[in-house]
Amino acid sequence: MPKVKVPRKSTAIDMTAMCDVAFLLLTFFILTTKFRPQEAVQIDIPPSTSQIPIPDKDIMMFQIAPDGRLFFGLDDQNTRLALLDALSTNYQLALSEKQKQAFKLLEIWGMDIRELPAFLDKEPNERAAIQQPGLKIDTTGGETQVEDLILFSRRANNNLRIAIKGDKTTEYKSFDKLIQALQNRKVNKFNIITSARSKQE
């Protein structure tokens, strides 16, 4: 009886298929990734059972920090530019091209509109280090900065939806001020951003 010879197999494996899979997944993740935008303040959003997903575009975002400071942001860069144009004519801001570009890339900000040019002059990493004072809000009349932001942004893009991102511990007082400003501009409908939670909790 002939001896059965067990052939010696190489331990090397064909990696081609594995490589294909790896890069397929990589492509998927690259395309779906949306990086977390830089934030002016850390905000911990309250949970709710609401299941409506936040729309992908046309968002006007207000953020309220735990201490009541108010921040503003638009998602679209062209709308931001249109807003800046309107602001510079109404608040007599003389803006250079560099400042405009800086505003175009500004995700979220909160300060007196008149202080914007000085803020935009700074380098991006310098800006991140600054504690922003929050939008100037005054609902009793006099200054209407927040109202103007709403008005000019809506002029730039009429489909804007208003989203309010507030911290869990934000006092209703500061939330109410913002709502007053919105209602002064006849906005009675808006969205509060919340995180998902199950009904049982």
Partner 1 sequence: MAEMNVPESGAKKGHKKARSKKMSTRVDLTAMVDLGFLLITFFMLATTFNKPKTMEVNKPAKEEDEKKEEEPPIKMSKTLTIMLGSNDKAYWYVSPDEIDANTQLTLDSVDYGSTGIRKVIKQRQDEVQAQWGNREDLFVMIKPLPKSKLKNTVDILDEMTINNVKRYAILEPNDPIDSLVAIKINQSRK
Which of 1/17 has CB closer to partner 1?
A: 17
Asked if residue 68 lies in contact with residue 132, where contact means CB atoms within 8 angstroms, the answer is no
Which of 24/130 has CB closer to partner 1?
A: 24
Beta strand 47-48 with 59-64 is unpaired
Task: Please tell me whether residue 7 binds partner 1 under the rule CB under 8 A.
Answer: no
What the block records as the tokens of 95 is: 């803006």
Task: Please tell me whether residue 175 binds partner 1 under the rule CB under 8 A.
Answer: yes
Residues 81-100 contacting partner 1, CB under 8 A: none
Task: Please tell me whether residue 53 binds partner 1 under the rule CB under 8 A.
Answer: yes
Which of 26/130 has CB closer to partner 1?
A: 26
- Torsion angle defined by CA atoms of residues 109, 113, 116 and 117, in that order, rounded to the nearest 10 degrees: 160
CB of 10 to partner 1, least distance (A): 5
CB of 151 to partner 1, least distance (A): 16
CA triplet 34, 87, 100: central angle to 5 degrees? 55
Rounded distance between C-alpha atoms, residue 183 and residue 81, angstroms: 25
Alpha-carbon separation of residue 121 from 24, 35, 57, 99, 117 (angstroms):
42, 25, 28, 6, 6
Q: Which of 1, 4, 6, 15 binds partner 1 (CB under 8 A)?
A: 15
The binding site for partner 1 (CB under 8 A) comprises 10, 12-16, 18-19, 22-23, 25-26, 29-30, 32-36, 45-54, 64, 163, 165-173, 175-176, 179, 183, 186, 188-196, 199
